[in-house]
Amino acid sequence: MRDIRHFVNGSAFEGASGRFGEVFNPNTGEVQARVQLAMAGELDLAVQAALKAFPAWSATNPQRRARVMFEFKRLVEANMQDLAEMLSAEHGKVIADSKGDIQRGLEVIEFACGIPHALKGEYTEGAGPGIDVYSMRQPLGVVAGITPFNFPAMIPMWMFGVAIAVGNTFILKPSEKDPTVPVRLAELMMEAGAPEGVLNVVHGDKTAVDAILQHPDIKAVSFVGSSDIAHYVYSQGTLHNKRVQAMGGAKNHGIVMPDADLDQVVKDLSGAAFGSAGERCMALPVVVPVGKAVADELRERMVAEIDTLKVGLSNDADAQYGPVVSAAHRQKIADYIQIGKDEGAELVVDGRDFSLQGYEKGFFIGPSFFDGVKPGMKTYQEEIFGPVLQMVRADSFEEAVELPSKHQYGNGVAIFTRNGRTAREFASRVQVGMVGINVPIPVPVAYHTFGGWKRSAFGDTNQHGMEGVKFWTKVKTITARWPEGEIGDSSFVIPTMK
């Protein structure tokens, strides 16, 4: 059986913990590999490699670091098909979604290629008599990222792309459920010209996470995952004097106004709710039609649309989505569907009995659709993270604004309308971090910034864009005066009231 090893100091690293996790093939349900699980000692070896690499890498000028990013981008593009197949084989998402996963990560790498411009500081000439003041952004040192199973290429690149480009060295702890692609990305970064120790990959479970959070030489941690763990990472990381950004769960809403283009809405909902088997923090699992007529028509159209969806193998080019990542996750989704039914919501389409012929042990689950969901229900309040769409009917625009605004999560929201004034007012008033107007999954482009509100994010700095540059750097401000007298003349003092 294949063993997936750590990647430290530019090469594969054989851990000594003797601990392993199982990596499944979601299509068949079979174990396809073992992944090593690190203890604190192995994490420390990676940190030491990163510490050794940091002085020279941080002293490398930004233009040369950008050239590494350009070459890394070229290599990832050249290996796109192989990377997508690796990703699909461990995660279960179809090849098209895997390529999208990689491409959205590459967009942040493209942003990182412009790091010389992003690192330019501020300058004030003549702030005082003969005095100039300027600032510079400098890297933090050794930093780390802890990433989830659902985007094993995109989210690591969101983190290490900017962090490395600004001059840090990086420790990546990817999900142990689908760890092969992150290791391959690290290999490609070395091929692109990054020195040994600049990007290291350490696999593990909570033991490795705690080692990262407690290690005194790791200066910052970025995390994406569930809200409970995000809160834990934020509280423990800051307790150990680290800068932390921790992105949590979501329950994104799609508001459908009476004037919306329902043909487009149905297609958008289908992709946003069921694409990638709903395993996306920016999925759209809640639809809020405004008015009974809109709700009734939307329900009828969604049932017909769901009937056309094809669930298949991850390498099936005709499938809309493939299996979920694990048997445990499949069972969790099925349990939520039963809870929703028990709570009194109407289960219009039940996907729990779906089975793919010849792959009955695979982690497949069909699309499900609820109507009559109420805000007090557990299944509405919590993140299901599967191919389940819930309809919450609203009688008015005011009620539609209130639903996502009062929810515990505030990651993303969308409104479907042809009325510019309605869209503008909604975007201004809704208490959610990312808003789409006729855009079902409003993930910002790479040169803007990604981040939710409320229990969807902990910390005060978002991911990628200039917010990412700020998170992975510290500011130094210099006040300079060149006296007219001889060297050593110290007549300048701090101004006083005199």
- In DSSP notation, 20-37 reads EEEEEETTTTEEEEEEE-
Residue 327: half-sphere exposure toward Cβ, Cα within 13 Å:
11
Structure confidence by residue, pLDDT tens digits, 52-107 = 999 999 999 999 999 999 999 999 999 999 999 999 999 999 999 999 999 999 99
Which letter does DSSP use for residue 166 in this model? T
Contact assessment for residue 433 and residue 456, using Cβ atoms and an 8 Å cutoff: yes
| Section 434-452 average pLDDT | 93
The verdict on whether 113 is a catalytic residue reads no
**Can you read off the two tokens belonging to residue 15?**
């851990």
- Residue 490 confidence (pLDDT): 52
The span from the CA of 84 to the CA of 151, in Å, is: 11
Q: Give phi and psi for 79, each to the nearest 5.
A: -105, 20
Taking CA 413 as the corner, what is the angle to CA 95 and CA 404, rounded to the nearest 5 degrees?
A: 135
Q: Give kind and range of the element (H or E) at residue 91.
A: helix 80-91
Say yes or no to pLDDT of 417 above 90: yes
The span from the CA of 63 to the CA of 427, in Å, is: 38
Say yes or no to pLDDT of 324 above 70: yes
List of residues 6+ apart from 69 with CB closer than 8 A = 109, 112, 113, 115, 161, 164, 165, 192
| Angstrom distances, CA of residue 288 to CA of 14, 153, 393, 399 | 51, 32, 5, 10
**Can you read off the two tokens belonging to residue 374?**
């109420």
Q: Which of 13-22, 232-241, 322-331, 479-488 has the lowest mean pLDDT?
A: 479-488
- Mean pLDDT computed over every residue of the chain: 95
**Short-list 482, 483, 459, 480, CA closest to 471:** 459
Say yes or no to pLDDT of 487 above 80: no
**Can you read off the two tokens belonging to residue 68?**
């590494």
Q: Give kind and range of the element (H or E) at residue 286.
A: strand 286-289
**Can you read off the two tokens belonging to residue 483?**
């006296």
Which letter does DSSP use for residue 225 in this model? S
- Residue 493 confidence (pLDDT): 56
Catalytic residue among 198, 246, 281, 290: 281
What is this structure's pTM?
A: 0.94
**Can you read off the two tokens belonging to residue 468?**
């990412």
What is 253-437's CATH number, 3.40.1000.10, 3.40.50.720, 3.40.309.10, 1.10.3720.10? 3.40.309.10
List of residues 6+ apart from 381 with CB closer than 8 A = 251, 375, 407, 408
The fold for domain 2-248+456-478 equals Aldehyde Dehydrogenase; Chain A, domain 1 (3.40.605)
Say yes or no to pLDDT of 15 above 90: no
The span from the CA of 325 to the CA of 2, in Å, is: 19
Structure confidence by residue, pLDDT tens digits, 185-229 = 999 999 999 999 999 999 999 999 999 999 999 999 999 999 999
Structure confidence by residue, pLDDT tens digits, 268-289 = 999 999 999 999 999 999 999 9
**Can you read off the two tokens belonging to residue 251?**
């329950």
Helix (H, G, I), strand (E, B) or coil at 344: coil
Could you tell me where the beta strands, DSSP code E, fall in 359-484?
368-371, 388-391, 409-410, 412-416, 434-437, 453-454, 457-458, 473-481
Domain assignments of the chain as residue spans, ordered by start:
2-248+456-478, 253-437
- Burial degree of 272 (CB within 10 A; 0-12, 13-18, 19+): buried
**Can you read off the two tokens belonging to residue 307?**
């009937």
Pairing relationship of beta strands 243-247 and 457-458 according to DSSP bridges: antiparallel
Residue 1: half-sphere exposure toward Cβ, Cα within 13 Å:
15
